[in-house]
Amino acid sequence: MKRALQRLSQFTHKLDKPLFIAVTLCASLSVVLIYSIYYNHVVSSVGASYYQTQLAAMLIGSVGCLTLTALDYHKIAKLWFLYMPLALVLVGLTFTSLGVRREGADDVAWLNLGFTTIQPSEFLKLAFILSFSYHLSRDEENINKPLHLLLLCIHGGIPTLLIFLQGDYGTAVVFIAMFAVMLFSMGLKLRYILAAFALAGGAGVVLWKFVLKSVHKNRILVLLHPGTDPLGLEYQQDLGLASLGSGQVFGKGLFGAQEYVTVPELHNDFIFAWIGQVFGFVGTVAVVAVLAYICLKIFADSRSAKDTLGKLICLGVFAMLFAHCFMNIGMVLKVMPVIGIPLPFFSAGGTAMLSMYLALGLVLSVHAHNEKKYRVFYDAE
């Protein structure tokens, strides 16, 4: 018993408690927000199962997060040959009859398991962060050799292409962000960076001319020419802005307001608009501040990691969270196209909540198994 208590004390001492508390605060608030949407009948399709699923995912995710914290991230990364193929197979199954399209989505990105649905791409993100971190750390000395760099690009390209073919363009962008941040952090030579930008520009032209459908192009064009399609593609974003601004400074409150603004996917991709409506400008600033703290703290943990593998895992999770936050909030503010990206730890979705908690667990594992000290804005003495 005494030994168990000593181990528990050691675990809690090494746990990054501020980061875990900040994430749990966001997740708890998410459950309350989704419950308020259900309670006030703001979105007719949101039933009790939505906040119940969110709560269950939060609790299971917390346990999974703390379990990963206790495990050595080196050992987890070395098992890439088990979970990476499994994640790819699960995503591949969305191209079969098991794949389903969630209501309000453009892509077939969910698997119907009978009793529930899951989004395999969320688990593929975690598998990619771990496997690519391990690949980069093992090939650190050869990063600027053409053949080795080509293999790294293939490693990043396969999951990105698979998600793109799935039709989930938002998640494909997240994969590109993770790949770029992790790869560029390894001291890639300038000529390769310039070549990457040139290729990205060429790929953008090809995508625009030959790949993207007219509806996706128009979602971008309406941002450049606002007001051209207020009853069509702009309708959801205009409602989102109306919802966001209707809370004014302090918001209408979670329960009992006489009139709430209804937005399609208010509980999911447009949850930030609901935050503005019920908590006002003050609430949205507070939420952005907490999310910014989470991202900065994870970035700080990458700087303090004792080895390259730990650094890359933290950078991968940082890139994933930052990309999600940037695109989701930008979408609500009508400066980014509607692209179907959830707000981390807030948007409804059991798979997303669970995967984000597991990603946090990887960061906490790096922090727990590291003896170096670092502060967010300055190096420790």
pLDDT value at residue 276? 96
pLDDT value at residue 374? 45
pLDDT value at residue 361? 96
Q: Residue 73 in contact with residue 317, Cβ under 8 Å?
A: no
Cα gap 243→10, rounded to integer Å: 46
Residue type, 55: L
pLDDT value at residue 104? 63
Token readout for 314 is 């933290």
pLDDT value at residue 279? 96
Q: Residue 37 in contact with residue 47, Cβ under 8 Å?
A: no
For the chain, the domains span: 17-368
pLDDT value at residue 207? 87
**Residue carrying the six token digits 């073919």:** 165
pLDDT value at residue 379? 45
> What is the pTM for the complete model shown?
0.93
What SS3 state is found at 255? coil
Per-residue pLDDT of the chain (381 residues; tens, 9 = 90+): 767 677 777 777 788 999 999 999 999 999 999 999 999 999 888 999 999 999 999 999 999 999 999 999 999 999 999 999 999 999 999 998 888 887 766 678 888 887 788 899 999 999 999 999 999 999 989 999 999 999 999 999 999 999 999 888 999 999 999 999 999 999 999 898 899 899 889 988 988 888 888 888 888 888 888 888 787 888 899 999 999 999 999 999 998 877 899 998 999 999 999 999 999 999 999 999 999 999 999 999 999 998 999 999 999 999 999 999 999 999 999 999 988 899 999 999 999 999 999 999 999 999 998 865 544 444 444
